[in-house]
């Protein structure tokens, strides 16, 4: 228990040191999922794998460059997630059109331009090249992405604003493990081992006199 608390404390301190929002997590339903990325021509152009920690994911482009980026959740604002790319000082803004409870999981999202600044209004804006893609669980039949519902954070522009109350689902709730201590009513018996010493008699031999 002490180790878990210490690990959690170190994680919070590390995130604060890096300027990362400690509450930044992608939606709980995405944990452990691998999604195919489909463009407007119904072509699979990438694979997005989400880890179980709720914070990191890997995005692999399967067309063209065939490269993989590690995406770490850096900041969560309304329906936007800002990811740090490969633990460097580069950031990507993702716009999600996501509804919880989908089976199979399928949602449209847009990716802004990669920037060396994490200022929200600089690269989470309607001019940020938010080309729509479709994320869908592997093995499902692709159907091209829908148009994105809006284009910027509610306080960043006079146009294309998303609603301030239009937010992504929260991450997984903390896991609480209840422990029950049972009191035994059975009588306690103690086992005592006693050393039993038998008296020994000296062997006296009678000497015969002739």
Over residues 154-198, the pLDDT tens digits come to 998 778 889 999 999 888 877 544 444 455 555 544 444 444 445
Domain of residue 56, residue span: 24-169
Assess if residue 196 is contained within a domain.
no
Spatial CB neighbours of 77, under 8 Å, sequence gap ≥ 6:
120, 124, 153
| 89 in Cβ contact with 18 (< 8 Å) | no
| pTM, 2 dp | 0.71
Q: Looking at the domain assignment, is residue 179 inside a domain?
A: no
Residue 25 pLDDT grade (very low, low, confident, very high; cuts 50, 70, 90): very high
- Within a domain: residue 141? yes
Predicted confidence (pLDDT) per residue in 67-115, tens digit: 999 999 999 999 999 999 999 899 999 999 998 888 889 999 999 888 8
How many structural domains are present in the chain? 1
What is the C-alpha to C-alpha distance for residues 60 and 63, in angstroms, rounded to an integer?
9
Q: What is the mean pLDDT of residues 1-9?
A: 38
Most confident of 1-15, 40-54, 136-150: 40-54
Determine what percent of the chain is predicted with pLDDT higher than 90.
38
pLDDT value of residue 2:
42
Q: Is residue 188 part of a domain?
A: no
Q: Does residue 7 fall inside a structural domain? A: no
Query: 């919070």: which residue's tokens?
Result: 12
Assign 180 to helix, strand or coil: coil
Whether residue 197 is contained in a domain is answered as no
- Residue 94 domain flag: yes
């Amino acid at each position: 228990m002490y180790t878990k608390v210490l690990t959690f404390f170190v994680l919070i301190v590390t995130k604060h040191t890096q300027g990362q929002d400690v509450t930044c997590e992608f939606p709980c339903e995405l944990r452990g999922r691998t999604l195919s990325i489909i463009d407007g021509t119904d072509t699979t152009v990438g694979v997005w794998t989400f880890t179980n920690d709720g914070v990191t994911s890997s995005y692999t482009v399967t067309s063209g460059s065939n490269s993989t980026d590690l995406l770490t959740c850096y900041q969560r604002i309304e329906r936007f997630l800002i990811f740090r790319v490969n633990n460097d000082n580069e950031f990507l803004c993702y716009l999600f059109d996501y509804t919880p409870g989908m089976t199979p999981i399928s949602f449209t999202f847009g990716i802004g331009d990669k920037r060396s600044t994490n200022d929200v209004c600089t690269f989470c804006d309607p001019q940020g090249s938010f080309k729509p893609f479709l994320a869908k669980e592997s093995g499902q039949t692709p159907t091209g992405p829908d148009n994105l519902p809006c284009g910027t954070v509610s306080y960043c522009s006079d146009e294309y604003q998303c609603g301030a109350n239009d937010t992504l689902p929260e991450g997984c709730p903390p896991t609480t493990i209840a422990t029950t201590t049972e009191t035994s009513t059975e009588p306690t018996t103690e086992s005592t081992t006693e050393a039993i010493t038998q008296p020994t008699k000296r062997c006296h031999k009678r000497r015969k006199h002739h």
